Amino acid sequence: DIQMTQSPSSLSASVGDRVTITCRASQSISRYLNWYQQKPGKAPDLLIYAASNLQSGVPSRFSGSGSGTVFTLTINSLHPEDFATYYCQQSYNRPRTFGHGTKVEIK
Amino acid sequence: QVQLQQWGAGVLKPSETLSLTCAVYGESFSAYIWNWIRQTPGKGLEWIGDINHSGSTNYSPSLESRVTISVDTSKNQLSLSLKSVTAADTAVYYCARMNGGWQRFDYWGQGSLVTVSS
């Protein structure tokens, strides 16, 4: 199985801050990397697919980059509704695997 | 508007069989691959398996011996069966649509909390 490692596991930030989350795959996954946002009691929502493609309806302050084994999710100018947990997920092969999440909390 | 609505028993005893169903509304069932994913505080998000409209399945190796995913295309529904459950199977279970060549999960059900307790 491909292991997905996210860092940090949590972070504190203020409204307006720029936040970067890193995801590392245990082997090359090309650009088969997706990012999700999850709020308490809700299902994950797709933010970014194929490493850098913004899902329809997702604000442009979210962006993704990377290929191979290292990927980043960046949130420019954090909004109050962005405080949530973020997950990366590889779709390169089965079994599909997820990172353990990064919780973005209010400072 | 695509909607996935899921239901099933919420409390089970050890050794029983978990059964969940997910109905898909507002989209062609046959054009996508449909998945089950679960989430626990300890292990996080775990992919269980997927199925296409013709019933071809793929399962996680860690669950393959106990899991069955099936479809009823006449009702646009998929189902999950997990036998011989233990406390470790306590989780929120989601159905999700896998879309496109990049195979992202773009629509999810609302989640079903399943608790296994004696």
User: B37 contacts in A (CB within 8 Å)?
Assistant: 96
pLDDT for the residue B29: 84
Q: In chain B, which residue's Cα lies nearest the Cα of A56?
A: B106
Render pLDDT for A14-72 as a digit per residue (tens, 0 to 9): 999 999 999 999 999 999 999 999 999 999 999 999 999 999 999 999 999 999 999 99
User: A44 contacts in B (CB within 8 Å)?
Assistant: 45, 94, 105, 108
User: Above pLDDT 90, what percent of chain B?
Assistant: 89
Res. A88: pLDDT tops 90: yes
| 3 state DSSP class of B30 | helix
pLDDT for the residue B95: 98
Instruction: Give the mean pLDDT of A78-94.
Output: 97
Interatomic CA distance for residues B11 and A93, integer angstroms = 33
User: How far A90 CA lies from chain B's nearest CA (Å)?
Assistant: 9
pLDDT for the residue B27: 86
Q: Does A64 touch chain B (CB under 8 A)?
A: no
pLDDT for the residue B100: 81
Res. B41: pLDDT tops 90: no
Chains A, B: CB pairs < 8 Å: 61
pLDDT for the residue A61: 98
User: How far B53 CA lies from chain A's nearest CA (Å)?
Assistant: 18
pLDDT for the residue A3: 98
